[in-house]
């Protein structure tokens, strides 16, 4: 699906797409990893995003391109559900790619001569040709699913009675409108199906539209109803040359990356400390007063590596194959983490990723996310790594994966490539991330005669939250 859209964008005259290698040290374009900025879009672009959110049943307000609290709340809700994260430019692009592909695949077009509803737009590729039923018109799903659209013209008494009769079928009304010339009822059926009943008066005649479907059809019904308010297919196309097209084009460019595992790239820093230009940042953690562990790709290609305050760090050991590095600091830390006493991670055990994602772009606070060990191997069943589900973002690389007692269970290294899985399976992966195991980290330290210090932060119960000392033990690592 995404490759088809890439071809369409290129044929429509999209700007040249940079390969991930050409996109700079931080990987993809900055707009992809920055927060989604609706203010940078035109009114038509914002309306298109609202339509896309209506199609996912997250947005239920005016499709006017005015981006208010309801629009942002809908996007936040979608991003949390699909990515367990707040909305970034990349996620908004994924939303739009999916929406535009759906419009094409389902054959959304004007339903034809519908009299009182000339702008009615339906997914015609999903529906049988219109049938005459009981003096009205009926479109029904070709697969035998429940989705159906019925249109009928009635006199006032019949329309009011029919509206009340059908309204009685619903188990819970979402909302109801009663006006002089309009009756609308939206709700759910007892078995979880969705229901939209709309009656409008035109002179002495009431035109009733009844849409019903399964819960999964709520977004489809939203789009059909949107067309009645004259948000027709001419508004459902991507405006060319704008910010929204750029977001999509940059996202499509990422699909050309051949790798199935992507390092969690160092994140560009927008407010650098003194001491020269910056390439990016990651996370490191102390295992002694001066011994700092991070991921090798965080420091790769750097002329200098520092703490956030500009303190220079010195490379003590590195292993490109394990993607791990140890740095030493001239300024001792007041706290450090303990290595896990367990022989290895246990399947399903609780783990927590600590780090500085999008450092200074969204703030400089430490982030801690939770999940579990989902597999005792990494990509291609590599036993040196573990898979885990705690969400991680650019800037988390090199941070510790800690167990529920605060001991180091691994080093956060990489995530499964969304683009690889989307192209291969047509689905978006959910929180498949990789860490170097604590056993491999132990072995690496032993081979380089690097001793961890005793008296690390004492064990704590993560159910009560992390202790204050973790702020000294886990720190940003900055690449110049």
Local confidence band at 46 (pLDDT 50, 70, 90 cut-offs): very high
Predicted pLDDT at 377: 87
In 3D space, the residue among 111, 136, 137 whose CA is nearest the CA of residue 123 turns out to be 111
pLDDT, one tens digit per residue, over 390-439 is 988 888 889 999 999 999 999 998 876 554 445 555 555 557 889 999 99
Predicted pLDDT at 180: 76
148 contact partners, CB below 8 Å, separation of at least 6: 138, 139, 140, 141, 211, 212, 213
In 3D space, the residue among 46, 229, 201 whose CA is nearest the CA of residue 121 turns out to be 229
Q: In 141-214, which ranges are E strands?
A: 148-155, 172-178, 182-188, 194-202, 205-213
- pLDDT for residue 291 is more than 90: yes
**In angstroms, what is the C-alpha Rg of the chain?**
27
Give the CATH class of 120-225: alpha beta
Same fold, 120-225 and 261-479: no
3-state class percentages of the chain: helix first, strand second, coil last, to nearest 5? 30, 25, 45
pLDDT, one tens digit per residue, over 235-255 is 678 888 888 988 888 777 665
Average pLDDT of the chain is 79
Least reliable range by pLDDT among 16-20, 58-62, 218-222, 254-258 = 16-20
In whole angstroms, how far apart are CA 355 and each of 62, 182, 358, 400, 475? 39, 54, 10, 7, 7
Local confidence band at 135 (pLDDT 50, 70, 90 cut-offs): confident
- pLDDT for residue 452 is more than 50: yes
Phi and psi angles of residue 20, each rounded to the nearest 5 degrees, phi first:
-55, -30
Percent of the chain's residues with pLDDT above 70: 80
Residue 474, helix vs strand vs coil = strand
Which segments of 361-469 does DSSP mark as H helices, in order?
418-425, 438-447
DSSP state of 43: H
Predicted pLDDT at 32: 72
Write the secondary structure of 259-291 as one string of H (helix), E (strand) and C (coil): CCEEECCCECCCCCCCCCCCCEEEEEEECCCCE
pTM score:
0.51
Percent of the chain's residues with pLDDT above 90: 31
Least reliable range by pLDDT among 12-16, 152-156, 292-296 = 12-16
Predicted pLDDT at 371: 92
* 471 vs 476: CA distance, rounded Å: 10
Give the domain 261-479 fold.
Answer: Thrombin, subunit H (2.40.10)
| 344 burial type by CB count under 10 A (0-12 exposed, 13-18 middle, 19+ buried) | middle
Phi and psi angles of residue 442, each rounded to the nearest 5 degrees, phi first:
-55, -45
* 443 vs 10: CA distance, rounded Å: 49
- pLDDT for residue 263 is more than 70: no
Q: Residue 436 is inside which H or E element, if any? A: strand 433-437
Predicted pLDDT at 367: 93
Least reliable range by pLDDT among 70-84, 133-147, 372-386 = 133-147
Phi and psi angles of residue 352, each rounded to the nearest 5 degrees, phi first:
-140, 130
Characterise 40 by phi-psi region: left (phi > 0), alpha (psi -120 to 50), beta (else): alpha
Predicted pLDDT at 22: 32
- pLDDT for residue 77 is more than 60: yes
CB 59 within 8 A of CB 70: yes
Predicted pLDDT at 70: 93
Domain limits, the chain: 2-106+237-254, 120-225, 261-479
Predicted pLDDT at 232: 57
CB 88 within 8 A of CB 75: no
Of residues 25 and 474, more confidence is placed in 474
Predicted pLDDT at 23: 32
- pLDDT for residue 105 is more than 80: yes
Predicted pLDDT at 362: 61
Residue 226, helix vs strand vs coil = helix
Core vs surface per residue 21-55: b (16+ CB within 10 A) or e: eebeebbbbebbbbebebebbeeebbbbbbbbbbb
Predicted pLDDT at 86: 74
- pLDDT for residue 44 is more than 50: yes
- pLDDT for residue 463 is more than 80: yes
Strand 182-188: give its sheet, edge to edge.
131-133, 136-140, 148-155, 205-213, 194-202, 182-188, 172-178
pLDDT, one tens digit per residue, over 183-192 is 888 888 888 8
Q: Residue 45 has which token pair? A: 């672009």
- pLDDT for residue 309 is more than 60: yes
In 3D space, the residue among 395, 389, 396 whose CA is nearest the CA of residue 412 turns out to be 396
Local confidence band at 1 (pLDDT 50, 70, 90 cut-offs): very low
In 3D space, the residue among 26, 74, 15, 25 whose CA is nearest the CA of residue 49 turns out to be 74
- pLDDT for residue 292 is more than 90: yes
């Amino acid at each position: 699906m995404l490759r088809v859209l890439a071809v369409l964008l290129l044929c429509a005259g999209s700007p040249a797409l940079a390969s991930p290698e050409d996109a700079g040290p931080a990987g993809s374009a900055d707009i992809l990893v920055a927060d989604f900025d609706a203010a940078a879009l035109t009114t038509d672009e914002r309306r298109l995003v609202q339509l896309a959110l209506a199609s996912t049943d997250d947005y239920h307000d005016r499709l006017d391109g005015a981006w208010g609290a309801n629009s942002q709340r809908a996007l936040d809700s979608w991003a949390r559900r699909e990515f367990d994260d707040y909305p970034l430019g990349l996620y908004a692009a994924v939303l739009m790619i999916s929406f535009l592909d759906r419009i094409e695949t389902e054959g959304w077009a004007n339903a034809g001569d519908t009299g009182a509803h000339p702008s009615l737009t339906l997914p015609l590729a999903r529906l049988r040709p219109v049938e005459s039923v009981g003096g009205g018109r009926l479109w029904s799903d070709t697969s035998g699913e429940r989705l159906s659209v019925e249109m009928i013209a009635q006199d006032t008494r019949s329309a009011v009675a029919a509206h009340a009769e059908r309204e009685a079928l619903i188990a819970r009304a979402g909302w109801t409108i009663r006006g002089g010339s309009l009756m609308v009822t939206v709700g759910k059926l007892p078995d979880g199906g969705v229901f939209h009943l709309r009656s409008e008066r035109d002179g002495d005649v009431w035109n009733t539209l009844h849409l019903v479907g399964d819960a999964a059809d709520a977004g489809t019904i939203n789009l059909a109803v949107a067309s009645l308010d004259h948000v027709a297919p001419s508004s459902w196309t991507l405006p060319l040359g704008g910010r929204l097209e750029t977001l999509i084009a940059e996202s499509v460019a990422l699909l050309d990356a051949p790798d199935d595992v992507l390092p969690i790239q160092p994140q560009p820093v927008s407010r650098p400390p003194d001491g020269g230009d910056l390439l990016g940042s990651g996370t490191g953690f102390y295992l002694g007063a001066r011994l700092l562990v991070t991921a090798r790709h965080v420091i790769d290609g750097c002329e200098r590596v520092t703490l956030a305050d500009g303190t220079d760090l010195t490379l003590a050991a590195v292993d490109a194959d394990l993607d791990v590095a140890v740095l030493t600091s001239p300024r001792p830390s007041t706290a450090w983490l303990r290595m896990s006493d367990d022989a290895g991670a246990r399947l399903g055990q609780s783990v927590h990723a600590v780090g500085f994602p999008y450092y200074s772009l969204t703030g400089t606070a430490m982030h801690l996310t939770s999940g579990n060990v989902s597999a005792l191997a990494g990509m291609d069943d590599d036993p040196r790594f573990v898979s885990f589900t705690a969400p991680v973002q650019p800037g988390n690389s090199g941070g510790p994966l800690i167990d529920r007692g605060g001991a180091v269970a691994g080093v956060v290294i990489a995530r499964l490539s969304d683009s690889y899985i989307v192209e291969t399976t047509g689905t978006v992966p959910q929180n498949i991330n990789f860490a170097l195991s604590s056993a491999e980290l132990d072995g690496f330290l032993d081979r380089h005669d690097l001793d961890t210090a005793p008296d690390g932060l004492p064990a704590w119960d993560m159910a009560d939250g992390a202790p204050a000392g973790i702020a000294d033990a886990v720190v940003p690592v900055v690449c110049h």
